[in-house]
């Protein structure tokens, strides 16, 4: 099975597209890095005056984005009734691991591979420690994601081990928050998407049908409120920014659209997906453990 | 004509005298004359013939290399005489590099805000001097800059984010301005404040930050010769992204202490609280003296990344100015001096 064929060996456009998408950020980074090294006319390349720092940040951004995408597979399979999506979950997860490894490797490059310093920095700086633990977790999941490893562990154990991804997600988001300067817009956005993904799971586990638009809208609203709450709490606890001002900013759109709205928009977009789903011929019922009506 | 202006021609053609290390790539970039460079040469040639600025600007504009903002009414003050007392241990950072790596949140939180910073309107520009002084007054920048003789100094600049650059600043010691202001004996601190104009500076619409930017120093620090009011850089009026028309530079402190685009200077009894200190008191203190031994809560300050060369070099106590400034802090609690 190649990264662009399914289990029967047939070409899978879905897998091929995800493979391409997974490579694009790395290709862009390589090209941007080369632009700085090659350009003699402009002394500053696409990555700016501190290219390694910029590359570290971008690799980290992509690691968390791909991790979230891998977490989106399961709820989306249910919501869009698109079981084939499972084909790309492993690729998305491994891509997240590879970007996280690139993130650490670039950090090592930045410190000129001074191993003693790298280790002491990771041990001394809390946010680096957290990031490193998250990466170690990703490595554990990545190395147990081969067919052989799954078989060896057995489905039950494998699932138990891989539910570690939720803890890794929390650590990754926390790492993102504390490495930021005063402004935590992006980490808040990622935390909000994480909430959305977790609420889909929670709803399914509690027996709500992820095909019900009502359930999906409720999840979108709850995740958006949760995002605003996280933002409020972070500014209140970790910064000197009056958190009330941040909360109020959710209702002002002149400077920025706050993360909560993006989370809401995403949740509503997913609802739309569930609404148009029947028109695309995939009409087998996808239900929670309990019947949809039981909890209504 | 060259013989008539040996200083000028030398500084223009041999910028390498600024540095100890010589880097071929840097020499190349310096020699690739930018339009501004061409323009400045033009001006110098005209000055050599004794022609005025107006003529120079007109000619430059007609030649298509000058822009309206190049016709700075203080351009004739540069290059300012070099103060040889201030030397560097590393090359001067090329202007194109540090002109595109700036923390100037008024124009955006990214580093390359140079283009957006061009929205900064620097004329007319008045500076209000008040608080505990003999007589509060307001002075136009164009008048102030001609009241005190300008000089060029090579300074190291160390950002709290663990990167550094070197700049050929031009300006005058802050103490000359303090003398002009005539503070009363009760003044303990000098408080600096920049502009507040969210329409001009879109970053000031960002509600997270308690605008306007404020910074402060003790009256003793303000009286130290190293504390410098910058009005120029690279032999011309200081670029907008660096905080035109006048900014502070305190080379022994982390960069955020060196406030840009100063509008108000007040002499006060109470310690001012800067914008960053108000935001994150655990990370950005009032003193903010550079010390490699005292880490930032989230990273080590032991080393710094030098812009352009990309070298990772050890950070020095007081950013290498310990011999000059350590005396300012004798007997003070080291627990707060370095953050």
- pLDDT per residue over A88-100, tens digit each? 999 999 999 999 9
Share of chain A above pLDDT 70, in %: 92
pLDDT exceeds cutoff 50 at B97: yes
pLDDT exceeds cutoff 50 at B25: no
pLDDT exceeds cutoff 80 at B1: no
- Residue for token digits 């700075």? B72
What residues form DSSP beta bridges with B151?
A: B81, B171
Query: DSSP labels for B118-137?
Result: TT---SS-EEEEEESBSS-E
A49–B205 CB contact, under 8 Å: no
**Top-ranked range on mean pLDDT: pick from A249-263, B87-101, B172-186:** B172-186
From the list A43, A121, A182, the residue facing B94 with the nearest CB is: A43
d(CA B153, nearest CA chain A) in Å: 23
d(CA A295, nearest CA chain B) in Å: 42
**Top-ranked range on mean pLDDT: pick from A73-77, B9-13, B306-310:** A73-77
A44–B205 CB contact, under 8 Å: no
The mean pLDDT of A121-148, rounded to a whole number, is 96
Quote the distance between the C-alpha of residue A114 and its chain's center.
30
**In the prediction, which pLDDT does B46 show?**
43
Pair B16, B27: CB distance under 8 Å: yes
* Whole-angstrom distance, CA of residue A158 vs CA of residue A145: 9
Torsion region of B87: left, alpha or beta (phi above 0 gives left; psi -120 to 50 gives alpha): beta
**In the prediction, which pLDDT does B11 show?**
36
From the list A44, A125, A182, the residue facing B100 with the nearest CB is: A44
pTM for the whole thing?
0.82
Mutate to test the interface with B, among A37, A48, A49 (most CBs of B within 10 A): A49
Compute the radius of gyration of chain B from its Cα atoms.
Answer: 20
Write the CB contacts of A102 (distance below 8 Å, at least 6 apart in sequence): A26, A59, A63
Q: Which fold has domain B30-336?
A: Sulfite Oxidase; Chain A, domain 2 (3.90.420)
* Whole-angstrom distance, CA of residue B78 vs CA of residue B81: 8
The mean pLDDT of B80-98, rounded to a whole number, is 94
Task: Spell out which residues of chain B touch residue A112, defining contact as CB-CB under 8 Å.
Answer: 312
B298–A178 CB contact, under 8 Å: yes
From the list A41, A125, A256, the residue facing B299 with the nearest CB is: A125
pLDDT exceeds cutoff 80 at B2: no
Task: Spell out which residues of chain A touch residue B275, defining contact as CB-CB under 8 Å.
Answer: none
**In the prediction, which pLDDT does B124 show?**
96
**In the prediction, which pLDDT does A39 show?**
56
Share of chain A above pLDDT 90, in %: 77
Task: Spell out which residues of chain A touch residue B307, defining contact as CB-CB under 8 Å.
Answer: 49-50
Mutate to test the interface with B, among A182, A239, A249, A253 (most CBs of B within 10 A): A182
Does the CB of A179 have a partner CB in chain B at under 8 Å?
yes
**In the prediction, which pLDDT does A95 show?**
98
B278–A240 CB contact, under 8 Å: yes
d(CA B291, nearest CA chain A) in Å: 17
Task: Count A/B contacts: CB-CB distance under 8 Å.
Answer: 75
* Whole-angstrom distance, CA of residue B337 vs CA of residue B327: 13
A121–B112 CB contact, under 8 Å: no
What per-residue string of b and e applies to A23-56 under the rule 16 or more CB within 10 Å gives b? eebbeebeebbeebeeeeeebbbbbbbbbbbbbb
Instruction: With a threshold of 0.85, tell me whether the complex ipTM lies above it.
Output: no
A182–B305 CB contact, under 8 Å: no
Count other Cβ atoms within 10 Å, centred on residue B252: 27
The conformation of residue B94, written as its DSSP 8-state character, comes to P
A48–B278 CB contact, under 8 Å: no
B206–A255 CB contact, under 8 Å: yes
* Whole-angstrom distance, CA of residue A203 vs CA of residue B144: 68
Share of chain B above pLDDT 70, in %: 79
């Amino acid at each position: 099975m190649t990264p662009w064929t399914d289990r029967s060996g047939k070409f899978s456009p879905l897998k091929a597209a995800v493979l391409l998408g997974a490579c694009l950020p790395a290709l862009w980074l390589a090209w941007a890095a080369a632009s700085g090294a090659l350009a003699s006319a402009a002394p500053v390349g696409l990555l700016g005056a501190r290219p390694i720092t910029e590359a570290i940040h971008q690799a980290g951004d992509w690691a968390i984005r791909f991790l979230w995408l891998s977490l989106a597979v399961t709820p989306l399979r249910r919501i869009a009734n698109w079981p084939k999506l499972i084909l790309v979950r492993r690729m998305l997860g491994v891509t997240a691991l590879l970007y996280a490894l690139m993130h650490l490797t670039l950090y090592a490059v930045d410190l000129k591979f001074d191993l003693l310093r790298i280790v002491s920095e990771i041990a001394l700086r809390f946010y680096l420690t957290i990031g490193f633990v998250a990466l170690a977790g990703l490595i554990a999941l990545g190395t147990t994601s081969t067919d052989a490893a799954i078989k060896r562990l057995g489905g039950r154990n494998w699932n138990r081990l891989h539910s570690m991804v939720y803890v890794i997600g929390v650590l990754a988001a926390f790492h993102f928050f504390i490495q930021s300067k005063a402004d935590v817009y992006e980490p808040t956005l990622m935390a909000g998407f994480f909430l959305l993904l977790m609420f889909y799971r929670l709803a399914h586990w509690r027996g709500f049908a992820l095909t019900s638009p009502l359930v999906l809208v409720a999840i979108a609203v709850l995740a958006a409120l949760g995002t605003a709450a996280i933002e409020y709490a972070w500014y209140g606890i970790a910064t000197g920014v009056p958190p009330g001002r941040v909360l109020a900013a959710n209702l002002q759109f002149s400077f920025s659209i706050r993360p909560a709205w993006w989370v809401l928009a995403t949740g509503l977009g997913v609802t739309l997906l569930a609404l148009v789903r029947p028109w695309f011929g995939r009409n087998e019922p996808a239900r929670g453990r309990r019947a949809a009506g039981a909890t209504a | 004509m060259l013989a008539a202006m040996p200083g000028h021609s030398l500084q223009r053609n041999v910028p390498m005298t600024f540095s100890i290390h010589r880097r071929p790539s840097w020499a190349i970039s310096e020699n690739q004359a930018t339009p501004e460079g061409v323009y400045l040469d033009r001006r110098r040639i005209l000055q050599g013939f004794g022609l005025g600025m107006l003529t120079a600007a007109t000619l430059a504009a007609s030649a298509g290399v000058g822009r309206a903002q190049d016709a700075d009414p203080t351009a004739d003050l540069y290059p300012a005489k070099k103060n040889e007392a201030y030397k560097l241990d590393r090359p001067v950072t090329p202007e194109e590099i540090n002109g595109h790596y700036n923390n100037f949140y008024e124009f955006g939180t990214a580093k390359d805000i140079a283009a957006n910073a061009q929205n900064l309107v620097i004329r007319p520009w008045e500076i209000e001097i008040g608080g505990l002084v003999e007589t509060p007054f307001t002075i136009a920048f164009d008048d102030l800059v001609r009241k005190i003789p300008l000089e060029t100094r090579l300074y190291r600049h160390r950002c709290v984010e663990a990167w550094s650059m070197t700049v050929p600043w031009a300006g005058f010691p802050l103490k000359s301005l303090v003398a002009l202001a005539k503070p009363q004996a009760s003044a303990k601190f000098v408080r600096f404040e920049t502009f507040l104009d969210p329409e001009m500076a879109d970053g000031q619409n960002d509600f997270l930050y308690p605008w306007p930017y404020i910074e402060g120093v003790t009256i003793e620090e303000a009286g130290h010769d190293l504390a410098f009011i910058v009005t120029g850089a690279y032999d011309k009026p200081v670029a907008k992204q660096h905080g035109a028309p006048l900014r502070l530079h305190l080379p022994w402190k982390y960069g955020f202490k060196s406030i840009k685009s100063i509008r108000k200077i007040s002499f006060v009894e109470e310690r001012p609280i800067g914008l960053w200190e108000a935001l994150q008191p655990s990370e950005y203190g009032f003193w903010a003296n550079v010390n490699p031994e005292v880490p930032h809560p989230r990273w080590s300050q032991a080393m710094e990344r030098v812009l352009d060369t990309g070298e990772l070099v050890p950070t020095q106590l007081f950013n290498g100015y310990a011999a000059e400034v350590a005396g300012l802090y004798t007997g003070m609690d080291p627990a707060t001096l370095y953050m």
